[in-house]
Structure 1
Amino acid sequence: MTDNIIIYNASAGSGKTYQLALNYLKILNKIYEEGEFNLKSLLAITFTNKASFEMKERIISFLKEIYKQTEKGKIKTYETGISPERAEFFLEEIFLNYDSFQIKTIDSFLLNLYRALSYELDMPADFQIKTYIEKNLIEKALNEIFEAAKKTEGLLKFLENFVDYLLTNEEKLKIDIKNKLIKDSEKIFQKITYKKELLDTLGTYQENKIEKIFLDFNEIETFKDPKDYYLVLYTLLKKKLEEVFSREKTLFIGIWKEILSQHLTFFPEFIPWIYVKLGKLEGIIIDEFQDTDRVQWEAILPIVEDVLSRNKFFICACDPKQSIFQWKGGDPFILAEFMQKFSSYPIKVEVLGKNYRSAVEIVKFNNLFFSYINKNLELKKELLEELIFGKEKIEEKEEILTYVLKDFDWSFENVIQEAVNDFKGEVECKFLKMEENIEGKSPKEKVKELIKKEILNILRDLEQKKDLDDVAILVRKNEDITELSSFLISEGFKVIGSSFLKIKESPLINAFFSLLKFLNYLEDEIALAGFLSGDFFENSLDILSKYCEFKLTGSNISLVEFFKKEYPSLWENYIEEILSVRKYLSLYELCQYIVKKFKLEEKKNKELAYLYKFLSIILDFSFKGGDLEEFLEYWEKYSEDELEMPKDKSAIKVLTFHLAKGLEFNHVILPLFWEEKPYSSDLGLVFYNGNIYKGRKNELPGEGKIGWYLEKAKIKMELFNLLYVGFTRAIKTLYILIPEIEETRDFSKFEVTRVFNKVYSFLRDKTENFLL
């Protein structure tokens, strides 16, 4: 193996995991032959835990084939240079030292690295990581800043000026300024986990303008730009939060990544310490490179540089067309920067041009659809112009479009694939016209009902053909999953929905669990309040509001006593009756009784999917002999990671595009009907050409406005990536549902429907034999 840098341009279904696993074994064999074998010396980074597991499984499978010298194994011996004897040795090493088998997510690797260097970074070894910052911690840090202001004239002056600015300039600002600051801070610190520009900005402000507050408070009068107020406050808050975290031995994910990145970038002497602690790296492989964010990349880049400086290996797989995580910071353009940075090295770029997943009809459809957009400048420009600008007319439009078109062309330049499979498949574009008998409260609701009806027709047809195995319906949002899953369950279908993985977020389940807690301990007022807020029966919310009014009179009566005294019939009919039967019923039977008693299947039909999943978990727990008290303890500790997508091909899968990425299904149903939120910049801050701008779009100067529209363009262009990911999940049949929508305000945000219709019309009018 002579190529030190290999970049795979890997379209959907092109055998990316196969190639990465093969390269892993080639590098592993090279390390062995050089006489310094250590399983830890090769690192493979994936985007998800599932992808890590799949790559490990593939590598072990390859080694077993080589060891057994199957027909495939003989080919892999030729491709990797690994003999059966060496394959046996590698398998033993993996099984005996599985912890050294370094195939993990990038955050998992960076966290291990941070923990290993905790002493050098002056951090306690037993710190806890937080993936988000709770409101109470932000409030605590703000309170400490306010307390410090009493003793620091400059800080007090700054805060007074900031409050004056908020009251004067912020629309709809109520009296609770503190609550606004907490909410804004929550947003910005969540962005810090992946937004490199924010980290750099806060770092810069920490060095200069913060000093003005403490050293020369008269300088505060120079804070004329609104962004100064925000950035100074966030920098102060970030510094104070770090102090709070340090006291509590916790660390926020965005902050520890920044600390690690800074130390590895500015103190190269840390690299040898990494190798002392974790072993010397001889090669790095990165999957789904387009989903890496800049904070992650800045942290790992110094290690990549060191590996390449020693003439070792860096391999990655990237497909900008599948970049659908830009809202989480995923940046496909990091790859272009990497290639420029390491242009002095020989870089091998290999386009994986075959499709091993889909039927030839599906591959041809995707080739035609996406290549036509990319090659037809008139169409492409019209689509992008409408998505980014709408009917707005701005001077900088052509300049912005030049940037955007260049990025679009780069993303979709390798879209054409060669189909490998010869089995028959089909693409059905179903244009749905509104029917008079469709019911719905609004035009949008009517379209949803029309789509449900068509989905039902497709499923019934597949059922009749005995071909209902492995069907997926892809939707845009989690709430769509819940609604559609509940509908299909009511029609008698077995359903698995990706939103079940977030079962603890269901209001119904939280209220149900609160009731179980209360039944177990009748003095638990918090549990009773949680149950009543679930609106299980008429007047339940009234009980809470009237109790709050009653408490304002100074009464010390408990919520339990108030419920018994003021609503005796409800207490007897529900609580006492359930308590009376509880001792005769198992945990699962008790829960079934509650469902029937409160008629939850009728009242909560939009959350049926969650309810049935919850009952399924309780049933499994009951089989192990657990009682109510044990279940309550179990549920408090219950990790939703345990709720992975079951591999039941007979159930209909209802998934978001993001969860479906990397998966494949025999039949995919894709309703092109979802509403996009209007674009707004993060807290009104725009980063462009190393500058920061703050304000409403129309108030921004030329460069600030260009930056605003370019950020919007990134988000809007993701629509094409979503379509690509959706269309390429299908193996045998792709059903695309396109409802007829009117050009009215009701449907103004349903951009995906209009985009598909426009492309389809162009293809139909200008392409011969275009039959879908």
Structure 2
Amino acid sequence: MLQIVKASAGSGKTHKLTEEYINLLFKNEENYKHILAITFTHKATEEMKSRIIRKLDEYSRTSSSKEKQEKSRKLLSSILFDYDMFHISTIDSFFQSIVRSFVRETGLQHGYGVELESKIVLEEAVDRLIMGLDRDTSSSVLKHMIDFAKARAKEGESWNIRKEMHTLAMELDRENYKLYAEVLQRVVSEEDYLTNYIEILKRIINKKKQTIRSLCNRAIAIIEQTQWGITSKNDWRNVFYKAKREDIFEPNKTQQEKLSSPSSWVTRTMKKEEKEKAQEAISLGLDKIALELLGELSHSTEYISALLIRKQIYIVGLLSDINEEKNILGKETNSFLLSDTTHFLQLITQDSDVPFIYEKTGVHIDHYMLDEFQDTSLMQWNSLSPLIHDCLDQSNECLIVGDVKQSIYRWRNSDSSLMGEKIAKEFSGYKMSTPSLKENYRSGANIVEFNNTFFEGIANKLREEIKNTYPSFQGKFLTSSYGEDDLKQQSASKDKGGYVGITFLSNKKEEQERTKALEKLKEIIDDLLNRNYPYSDIVILIRNKAEAEIIIDYFSHVEG
């Protein structure tokens, strides 16, 4: 069975994992050899191991059941004497252990090295690429670099191509690139294909531009003929001028309503002369043009995609060149980047049967437990997914624990949709439960209540604001992550403790606002000290070190 546990901060995630792990141990005393618990930091790994050991020790001494005491003693002894088989690991360590078992298949040699600093390796690949131009001035690399330099100059960016390429090279370390690296490499390497592709993009762009500009020109001609002039910059009829002028234009909510409803153009409050002009414009066909233009602007996905791809196509070639040079460098030094581990593992898990993977690694896993799942990236999940499927096919148990609210921060290239909906959909054919840990054991009741109200409200407000600019935006993830009843927390404490205060400071000048903020901060701290809170219980959180220096400097002066 698969358990997908949604758990927010302070709700006892680690306690839940420890509990489920020990339950599996009690079902089979050998299970500790066949359970893999995965988290994201070494600290979390050690904490989970310690909790399991402490809990077993506690049961062995204090359980009311003699049988449970005896089982706990045996389990504790087995784990401590066979500690290498106690599989609680970071996701990186687990992936590295599999890659080590597939050295030959990944093209590496024994004794390979793992480079931790992607930046250093990628910058060296760029420098080698530039230096290599002296030997081959007719290469496609030179063409890609010239295109890159021209584009940067056109955008008013630096002419220092080496520095700019160093920055660009870091895109290779992003998962979005890694997911499509092989496809992009094929596209760039086939010159005829690339030329034809660019021609297709041009045709898509030109066709849409011509259609929109033709409609706008006809509309503007009618407006000028009827002298139904624009009265202000917010006049909805500006849409015809903006759509003609701008490559990418999406009408706002008001403009959409006007374009889709010509009957709203004439109102009772309009002056007679203005009303006659509007009616004449409608009689000349402006209403039909407006509806047609709205249709064109509403169905622009292909056009916008083509426009953006055309502008950036040279970058794909250059990235491909840098990536190839990075791979050559890796072969020469018998090493690969730590950040490429997931890519290697994905190739392994997709091309190999799971039993074969276990045979190669020398470890057979029956049960998986994934902690902090909201930090999991799509590539990591693509590597883990076949293992989880195999586990469930054997009627074993898997546990996934995460906080969907935290997934929006995109730590470690995490994919917020995994915890939100993808996992449940992917495993819909298996027995599954989706409990939520609702109680918060860490914060006071007032703080929990504030968070529930604030984040649900701010998610709805943000969704509406985005929809005003981008009407097609649905924002389901925002409201489902922050508004669903099963994600709202309850305080474990009945005491209405905790306090949240928000102060808004409005000053046009930044210096005045900073001074007011510092004065307010001192006022709050003085109040806390007067109520006998020690300094050690007070924390000031800031955005960056520069702000910390300002606060320290301020308090140093006011305290003398």
Relative to the length of structure 1, the TM-score reads 0.53
Superposition deviation, residue 286 in structure 1: 1.0
- Are 2:245 and 1:179 aligned? no
| Distance in 1 of aligned mates of 2:502 and 2:132 | 63
For residues 422 and 321 of structure 2, what CA distance do their matches in structure 1 show?
32
- How is 1:18-37 mapped onto 2 (pairs within 5 angstroms)? 18-32=15-29, 37=30
SS of residue paired to 2:472: helix
> One-letter code of the match for 2:321?
L
Q: Is the 8 A contact 1:31 1:282 kept in 2?
A: no
Amino acid at match of 1:42: I
In the other structure, the counterpart of 1:671 is none
Matched, 1:115 2:100: yes
Q: Does structure 1 residue 305 correspond to structure 2 residue 393?
A: no
Summarize deviations over 1:218-274 as a string: whole Å, max 9, x none. 879869723331112212211210110222233212323212112211x12365233
Q: Letter of the aligned partner of 2:427 in structure 1? A: F
3-state SS of 1:473 partner: coil
1:240 aligns with 2:325: yes
Contact 1:6 1:315 in 2 (8 A): yes
1:267-286 alignment runs, 5 A limit: 267-269=351-353, 271-286=355-370
Q: 3-state SS of the aligned residue for 1:357?
A: coil
In structure 2, the partner of 1:103 is 88
- 1:488-503 equivalences under 5 Å are none
Q: Is the 8 A contact 2:122 2:166 kept in 1?
A: no
Alignment of 1:352-371 (within 5 A): 352-371=437-456
Are residues 217 and 87 of structure 1, via their aligned partners in 2, closer, same or farther at CA, if it must alter by over 3 Å?
closer
The answer on whether the counterparts of 1:264 and 1:271 sit within 8 Å (CA) in structure 2 is no
Letter paired with 1:399: S
Does 2:489 match 1:417?
yes
Q: Structure 2 vs 1, CA of residues 479 and 275 (structure 1 numbering), >3 Å: closer, same or farther?
A: farther
The 5 A counterparts of 1:712-731 are none
Q: Within 5 Å, give how 1:404-553 maps onto structure 2.
A: 404-413=475-484, 414-431=486-503, 443-468=509-534, 469-484=536-551
Deviations 1:75-127 (A, max 9, x none): xx7xxx97111211222233223333222221222122222332442323433
Deviation at 1:284, TM superposition (A): 0.8
1 or 2 for the larger relative contact order (CA 8 Å, sep ≥6)? 2
Q: Counterpart in 1 of 2:472?
A: 399
Q: Is the 8 A contact 1:43 1:281 kept in 2?
A: yes
User: In 2, are the aligned partners of 1:154 and 1:218 still within 8 Å (CA)?
Assistant: no
**What amino acid is aligned across from residue 352 of structure 2 in structure 1?**
P
Per-residue displacement from partner, 1:258-317 (whole Å, max 9, x unpaired)?
Answer: 12112211x123652334424100111111211111122122222212222222121011
Q: Aligned-pair distance for 1:332?
A: 2.4
Contact 1:39 1:102 in 2 (8 A): yes
Closer, same or farther in 2 for the Cα pair 1:383/1:220, shift >3 Å? closer
Question: What residue identity is the alignment partner of 1:383?
Answer: L
2:178 pairs, out of 176, 199, 213, with: 199
- Tell me which residue corresponds to 2:188: 209
Matched residue SS, 2:365 = coil
2:141–2:321 Cα contact (<8 Å) kept: no
CA contact (8 A) 1:189 1:254 kept: no
CA distance in 2, matches of 1:357, 1:137: 43
Distance 1:86 1:66 in 2: 9
What residue is the counterpart of 2:400 in the other structure?
Answer: 316
The structure-2 alpha-carbon separation of the partners of 1:243 and 1:176, relative to structure 1 and needing over 3 Å to count, comes to: same
Q: In the alignment, which residue of structure 2 is the partner of 1:383?
A: 462
Change (3 A) 1:170 1:92: farther
Q: Distance in 2 between matches of 1:459 and 1:130?
A: 46
CA distance in 1, matches of 2:143, 2:362: 46
Structure 1 residues 383 and 164: CA distance shift in structure 2, 3 A: closer
Shift in alpha-carbon separation, 1:134–1:157, aligned structure 2, 3 A = closer
Contact 1:66 1:82 in 2 (8 A): no
Deviations 1:311-336 (A, max 9, x none): 21210112212225316422221131
Measure how far apart 1:426 and its partner are. Answer: 3.3
Is the contact between residue 79 and residue 86 of structure 2 (CA under 8 Å) also seen in structure 1? yes
Local SS of the residue matching 2:364: coil
Aligned-residue offset at 1:366:
2.6
Change (3 A) 1:278 1:9: same
Structure 1 runs not aligned, ≥5 long: 375-379, 436-441, 494-772
- Using the TM superposition, give the Cα deviation of residue 371 of structure 1 relative to its aligned residue in structure 2, in angstroms: 4.3
C-alpha spacing 1:365/1:411, structure 2 compared with 1 (3 Å)? closer
Whether the aligned pair in 2 keeps the contact of 1:42 and 1:282 (CA below 8 Å) is yes
Amino acid at match of 1:285: M
Q: What does 1:571-610 correspond to in 2, within 5 Å?
A: none
1:12, CA displacement in angstroms?
2.6
1:284 counterpart SS class: strand
> What are the residue-to-residue correspondences of 1:133-172 with 2, within 5 Å?
133-135=118-120, 137-144=122-129, 147=132, 150-151=135-136, 153=138, 155=140, 158-159=143-144, 162-163=147-148, 165-166=150-151, 170-172=154-156
Contact residue 117 and residue 274 of structure 1 kept, 8 A: no
CA deviations over 1:506-540 (Å, ceiling 9, x no partner)? xxxxxxxxxxxxxxxxxxxxxxxxxxxxxxxxxxx
Larger radius of gyration: 2
Asked if the contact 1:40–1:278 (Cα under 8 Å) also holds between the matched residues in 2, the reply is no
% identical aligned pairs = 24
- Say yes or no: does 1:58 pair with 2:59: no
What one-letter code is carried by the residue in structure 2 that aligns with 1:189?
L
TM-score when normalising by structure 2: 0.71
Deviations 1:398-430 (A, max 9, x none): 211x2x135432443134333221345232424
Query: 2:119 is aligned with what amino acid?
Result: E
Aligned to 1:8, which of 5, 9, 12? 5
Is the contact made by 1:45 and 1:105 (CA closer than 8 Å) also made in structure 2? yes
Shift of 1:449: 3.3
Alignment pair present for 1:190 and 2:162 = no
CA–CA distance in structure 2, aligned partners of residues 179 and 372 of structure 1:
44
> Cα–Cα, structure 1 residues 326 and 406, in superposed 2: closer, same or farther, change >3 Å?
closer
Name the amino acid aligned to 1:384. Answer: R
Return closer, same or farther for 1:149/1:330 CA change in 2, 3 Å cut-off. Answer: same
Q: Is the 8 A contact 2:122 2:169 kept in 1?
A: no
Which residue is 1:608 aligned to? none
Change (3 A) 1:446 1:100: farther
1:655-694 to 2 correspondences below 5 Å? none
2:256 counterpart residue number:
none
Indicate the residue corresponding to 1:341 in structure 2. 426
The one-letter code sitting in structure 1 at the alignment partner of 2:188 is K
Larger % of strand: which?
Answer: 1
| 1:43 alignment partner AA | L
Question: C-alpha separation between the residues in 2 aligned to 1:56 and 1:331?
Answer: 27
Using a 3 Å threshold, how does the CA distance of structure 1 residues 463 and 41 change in structure 2: closer, same or farther?
A: same
Q: How many residues align?
A: 449
1:91 equivalent among 61, 65, 76: 76
